[in-house]
Amino acid sequence: MAILLLFNKVESITVNGESMTVNIKSMTVESISKEAQIELKLLRPILLVLIKSQVLKCLEITVNEELKESDIEDDYMIQVDENFKSKRDKINLNQAVKSVEQKEAEKDGQAIEEERNFLIQVDK
């Protein structure tokens, strides 16, 4: 994922006349959006999956089942969890994104059904 690759970037800084390179350890949600060129409304579900799976961490967020996209603010600092460990060799991060898409599809279906009911009532 492109978002995880952003944390591999190396920046050069100068301290007391000496040039040094440092890895980026944390970024704000807004800076991730700008660097990855992803709109915030599309970025939040991806960050939600990565935070819930504990690949990324945010000190301002408590990870629980009730965590929602709207809980992720633009100025929150996101960082890679250096202590991340998993017993699995492969972690499927797409499942959670699909479940978010399914919820949105259900909401859309309900909205369409309500609109149809209104049209039927108007015709009567």
Q: Is residue 14 part of a domain?
A: no
My answer on whether 30 and 60 are in the same domain is: yes
Q: Which amino acid is at 117?
A: N
- pLDDT tens track for 5-25: 888 875 656 667 776 665 567
Q: What is the DSSP letter of 54?
A: T
My answer on whether 46 and 72 are in the same domain is: yes
My answer on whether 113 and 81 are in the same domain is: no
Domains contained in the chain, number:
2
My answer on whether 98 and 76 are in the same domain is: no
- CA-to-CA separations, 62 to 17, 43, 65, 100, in angstroms, rounded: 41, 19, 10, 19
Q: Is residue 53 part of a domain?
A: yes
- pLDDT tens track for 57-75: 888 888 877 888 888 888 9
pLDDT score at 69: 82
Q: Is residue 18 part of a domain?
A: no
**What domain range is 50 assigned to?**
26-91
Question: Phi then psi for 110, rounded to 5 degrees?
Answer: -65, -40
Q: Is residue 36 part of a domain?
A: yes
Is 51's pLDDT higher than 80?
yes
My answer on whether 36 and 83 are in the same domain is: yes
CA distance 23 to 56: 16
